[in-house]
Amino acid sequence: MTQSIGTPVNRVEDDRLLTGQGKYMDDIGTPPNTAQAAILRSTYPHADIISIDTSEAEKVTGVKAVITGEQIKQYMKPFSVGVSAPVKYYPVAVDKVRYVGEPVAVVLAKNRYIAEDALDKIKVKYEALKPIVDIEQSLESDAPLLHENVGSNIANHRTFDYGEVNQAFEQADHVIKHKYHFPKYSAIPVETYGILASYENSEDCYTIHANFHGPFVIQAVMAQALGIPGNKLRIVVPKDIGGSYGIKAGAFPYMVLLAITSRIAGCSVKWIEDRQEHLSASSSGTDRVTYIEAAVKKSGKVTGLRMKMIDNVGAYIRAPEPACLYRTHANSTGAYDIPNLHIEAIATMTNKLPTGLIRGYGGQELYFPLERLMQRVAKELVMDPADVIRENIIKKHQFPYKTASGGIYDSGDYEKGFELAIETGKYTEFRRKQQEARKKGKIFGVGLANIVEPSGSNMGYITVALTPEERASSLPKSGCAEAATVSMDPTGSVNVRISTTPSGQGHETVAAQIIADVLGIPMDKVNVVAELDTSTSAWSIASGSYSSRFASLGSSAVFYAAHKVKSKLFKIAAHQLQVEASDLELKAGSIFVKDNPEQKYSLKRAVGTAHWNPLALPEGMEPGIYETYYYTAKNTEPPDEQDLINSSVTYGFVSDLVTVEIDPETANVEIIDYVTIHDAGKLLNPKIVDGQIFGGLAHGLGGALYEELAYDSKGQFLTGSFMDYLCPTAPEMPKVTIKHMETPSPITPLGAKGLGEGNTMSAPVAVANAVSDALSPYNIEIDTLPLSPNYIWRLLAKSDIYQKHKEVNA
């Protein structure tokens, strides 16, 4: 049988999804007497709650309960979070509201229509407080305070020094610096949050069905908040999740909120978030201000980097934040060989929606200033940006490459990837055309971005938020454990259970491919169970779907579990055939002796023996075929005393080249061509790979051009519908050329690295570089996003050179 891994096989998920048989959160049915919940939300960005009168709402026919923060608080402690600032975060406002959309009360009713009717009858008296939304102003000593007991708005603050940073700057020929702002935007899955929670008082146990995809360390956070042992909090994740891209990790506060309402009301409770709730009050990416400066030699070589990164984590810092600051810690210097690095990392709280995981998490925020600065270096040194990249990019012979902050880039050939982008995108030719076009008043630009795509997070990285002294007092955290279970039933068919809670990435397909290859059976004979149940699945704190960890970790767990099964079957066959297991081979459902293929034992018979005739098994062997493997990569040590940390398991590479034209009449940015070169190690299923890349790129282009969760200066939320929050649709997608290189990872057994987030990280800055390049004759620099026509229009209007140029042309 030919190998399935590495081939673009069709997905096993598709038939059910194409025929309306997917089982998403809202499709799984509810127990009798389930109440439907609707949530009353704050219309104020910052206010004291003076009173809540629920009496009229309670009188509405069909309403079962109206529950406020004061009641919820009786059944829980604030959620814990990995920083020392004593922020008290409950899933519903208590005493005070801190962002528009924050839950204030929950109505439980016979159906959602009635529940929403009753919301209108709740009377809340607020006393408005001064709001704060600006990142830098929130740090000032007289800024309005969100959490009085914390004493400031700062939730986390750390500094790091690697190498000889001051020396690098002293010896530099140029110091080039700028401030960049990456805005708040989101991932916007088409399916919103969905939760079904039930409390059983006889067992003091909560069962929560939710489209939550981990990391399952948050299960422990939830259990702790509820004050119960982990085994009293059963979380069941349906096999189908309608997209997430990180955002559904933020469902956890609602899971606890709904669980407690179930306890108070004495019935199961279901809540499907609506779109306005999702936009205003689910979770989002983190907006960041970065002050970045580079020590640069005449040649364009960057010898040192200083970054001050200020993340706005919204009204409450909550798990896994402040991880956005640290997820990319090991790859802070990106694709470049920069040995000296200073980082100041601050997480501040403002009157905006709290943040969390999102596709690219930390990457777009890091690479936006870094790759913009590299282009600025070229501009100030009057060099071609491509030559500055060539000067700095990590060379092939340097792999495995150790970064300043402790990362180990496992494999790659970045120069080759970059040159492939230059060649595919016809860079030199474009430069020539650009000169000609400029003479005709046309505005063309080309942008480059080279990024390192981390995948498979080291669970120790978040502890970098604490000082080495603070870390020393608790258990070190390391690893990136993932589990899979492969079993064979008495009829010889295979079940695989995974704990990677897929939301469209095709984990079922790739798991089936791996099993087919290892056990030599057709893919369609493999049943993959993607539903996760914390009471019955094999899982660990790192389990779930985030940091592109399936290709690096989930697939490895499946691979090794399959090998455990194979090894057991070989031992059974060897015992029956009276040979050594090492003499055996497996092909087409048959186990045979390598040197004597006539001497064989069928796979089915080996499985059958384990179930039907266990007394014929080798001495000491357990009956049945049921093997679980917990995998962790070994290169994920806890941070050391110098704060060195390899924050991810594998590191892929993406090199983008994008060309744009800006319409002088409308200031609209049109992408002419988007070239993206990827090296994600061994590709497990090229069809799925390209799908992931297209999706990640669409999200990246959304961030570059359209998407923003906007607030006015008073903290009022402005983008509560799809008329205001613009997602790219089919006509907005440009022509895209994807090319692959495959430098296998030496870390993972299949040589695969994660992917799917790379272009979400790279596209915002690639486009910003292209637009900056286009506007460079007018001395316009892009230092924030999204690059909407009205934003570009304002820049052009402010540019004296452009205005003169226009007059001359007119």
Partner 1 sequence: MAMQEIEVTINGTRYEEMVEPRMLLSDFLREVCGLTGTHVGCEHGVCGACTVVLDDAAVRSCLIFAVQADDRSILTVEGLAQNGELTTLQKNFKENHGLQCGFCTSGILMAATDFIEKKPEADSQEIKEMLSGHLCRCTGYDGIVKAVEKTIEENKNSVKELNT
Q: Pick from 189, 322, 407, 703 the residue near partner 1 by CB under 8 A.
A: 189
Angle at 595 between CA 593 and CA 601, to 5 degrees: 15
Spatial separation of the C-alpha atoms in residues 357 and 548, rounded to whole Å: 12
**Pick 571 or 739: Cβ nearer partner 1:** 739
Segment interacting with partner 1, rule: CB under 8 A, options 87-95, 155-163, 269-277, 599-607: 269-277
**Pick 213 or 600: Cβ nearer partner 1:** 213
The yes or no reply on residue 783 touching partner 1 (CB under 8 A) is: no
Cβ 264 to partner 1 shortest distance, Å: 25
Three-state secondary structure call for residue 341: strand
Cβ 616 to partner 1 shortest distance, Å: 41
Q: What residues does 488 pair with on adjacent strands?
A: 494, 625
**How many other β-carbons are positioned within 10 Å of the β-carbon of residue 472?**
10
Residues 487-506 that bind partner 1 (CB under 8 A): 503-506
Q: State the DSSP code for 654.
A: E
Q: Pick from 18, 382, 615, 810 the residue near partner 1 by CB under 8 A.
A: 18
The yes or no reply on residue 11 touching partner 1 (CB under 8 A) is: yes
The yes or no reply on residue 739 touching partner 1 (CB under 8 A) is: no
Q: Pick from 6, 45, 214, 242 the residue near partner 1 by CB under 8 A.
A: 242
Cβ 117 to partner 1 shortest distance, Å: 10
Return the closest-CA partner of residue 658 out of 442, 445, 431: 445
DSSP line for 456-497: EE-TTGGGGGS-HHHHHTS-------EEEEEEE-TTS-EEEE
**Pick 586 or 693: Cβ nearer partner 1:** 693
Site string for partner 1, 580-619 (x = CB under 8 A): ----------------------------------------
Site string for partner 1, 675-714 (x = CB under 8 A): ------------xx-xxxxxxxxxx---------------
- CB distance 69 to 124 below 8 Å: no
Cβ 690 to partner 1 shortest distance, Å: 7
Q: Pick from 305, 381, 488, 736 the residue near partner 1 by CB under 8 A.
A: 736
Q: Pick from 721, 737, 779, 803 the residue near partner 1 by CB under 8 A.
A: 721
Q: What is the 3-state secondary structure (H, E, C) of 159-200?
A: EEEECCHHHHHHCCCEEEEEEEEECCCCCCCCCCCEEEEEEE
Q: Pick from 3, 149, 190, 382 the residue near partner 1 by CB under 8 A.
A: 190
Q: What residues does 659 pair with on adjacent strands?
A: 446, 673
**Pick 48 or 724: Cβ nearer partner 1:** 724
Segment interacting with partner 1, rule: CB under 8 A, options 52-60, 187-195, 571-579, 580-588: 187-195
Cβ 686 to partner 1 shortest distance, Å: 10
**How many other β-carbons are positioned within 10 Å of the β-carbon of residue 55?**
10
**Pick 228 or 738: Cβ nearer partner 1:** 738
DSSP run (H or E) holding 26: none
Cβ 732 to partner 1 shortest distance, Å: 8
Cβ 8 to partner 1 shortest distance, Å: 8
Cβ 236 to partner 1 shortest distance, Å: 18
Segment interacting with partner 1, rule: CB under 8 A, options 17-25, 166-174, 177-185, 287-295: 17-25
Tokens of 713: 């200066």
Return the closest-CA partner of residue 187 out of 237, 254, 243, 253: 243
- C-alpha of 439 from chain center: 44
Segment interacting with partner 1, rule: CB under 8 A, options 132-140, 175-183, 240-248, 594-602: 240-248
The yes or no reply on residue 191 touching partner 1 (CB under 8 A) is: yes
- CB distance 447 to 770 below 8 Å: yes
Spatial separation of the C-alpha atoms in residues 459 and 455, rounded to whole Å: 12
Three-state secondary structure call for residue 797: helix
Cβ 508 to partner 1 shortest distance, Å: 12
Q: Pick from 51, 141, 474, 731 the residue near partner 1 by CB under 8 A.
A: 731
DSSP line for 406-425: S-EE----HHHHHHHHHHHT
- C-alpha of 740 from chain center: 22
**Pick 253 or 696: Cβ nearer partner 1:** 696
Cβ 30 to partner 1 shortest distance, Å: 10
Q: Pick from 65, 93, 187, 258 the residue near partner 1 by CB under 8 A.
A: 187
Site string for partner 1, 317-356 (x = CB under 8 A): ----------------------------------------
The yes or no reply on residue 13 touching partner 1 (CB under 8 A) is: yes
**Pick 579 or 697: Cβ nearer partner 1:** 697
DSSP run (H or E) holding 627: strand 625-631
Helices 686-705, 758-775: axis angle to 10 degrees equals 40
Cβ 32 to partner 1 shortest distance, Å: 15
Cβ 496 to partner 1 shortest distance, Å: 20
What is the C-alpha end-to-end distance of the chain, expressed in Å?
Answer: 70
Total interface residues for partner 1 by CB under 8 A: 54
Which residues, in sequence order, are CB contacts of 486 under 8 Å at separation 6+? Answer: 494, 495, 496, 497, 515, 558, 561, 562, 564, 565, 627, 629
Cβ 640 to partner 1 shortest distance, Å: 39
Cβ 482 to partner 1 shortest distance, Å: 21
Q: Pick from 78, 230, 243, 749 the residue near partner 1 by CB under 8 A.
A: 243
Cβ 276 to partner 1 shortest distance, Å: 8
Tokens of 124: 């809340």
Q: Pick from 42, 156, 192, 762 the residue near partner 1 by CB under 8 A.
A: 192
- CB distance 40 to 124 below 8 Å: yes
Q: Pick from 7, 10, 779, 803 the residue near partner 1 by CB under 8 A.
A: 10
At 383, give phi and psi (nearest 5°).
Answer: -120, 165
**Pick 26 or 583: Cβ nearer partner 1:** 26
**Pick 47 or 697: Cβ nearer partner 1:** 697
- CB distance 570 to 605 below 8 Å: no
Spatial separation of the C-alpha atoms in residues 754 and 747, rounded to whole Å: 12
The yes or no reply on residue 310 touching partner 1 (CB under 8 A) is: no
Spatial separation of the C-alpha atoms in residues 311 and 362, rounded to whole Å: 10
- CB distance 146 to 269 below 8 Å: no
Which residues, in sequence order, are CB contacts of 762 under 8 Å at separation 6+? Answer: 367, 371, 449, 450, 451, 654, 656, 676, 700
Q: Pick from 1, 7, 27, 476 the residue near partner 1 by CB under 8 A.
A: 27
The yes or no reply on residue 245 touching partner 1 (CB under 8 A) is: yes
Helices 555-577, 603-612: axis angle to 10 degrees equals 80
Cβ 155 to partner 1 shortest distance, Å: 29
**Pick 730 or 810: Cβ nearer partner 1:** 730
Q: Pick from 88, 232, 275, 297 the residue near partner 1 by CB under 8 A.
A: 275
Pick left, alpha or beta for residue 6 (phi over 0 → left; psi -120 to 50 → alpha; otherwise beta). left
**Pick 196 or 698: Cβ nearer partner 1:** 698
The yes or no reply on residue 423 touching partner 1 (CB under 8 A) is: no
Spatial separation of the C-alpha atoms in residues 76 and 59, rounded to whole Å: 28
- Interface with partner 1 by CB under 8 A: which residues? 10-11, 13-15, 17-22, 24, 26-27, 113, 187-192, 240-243, 245, 272, 274-275, 503-506, 687-688, 690-699, 721-723, 727, 729-731, 733, 736
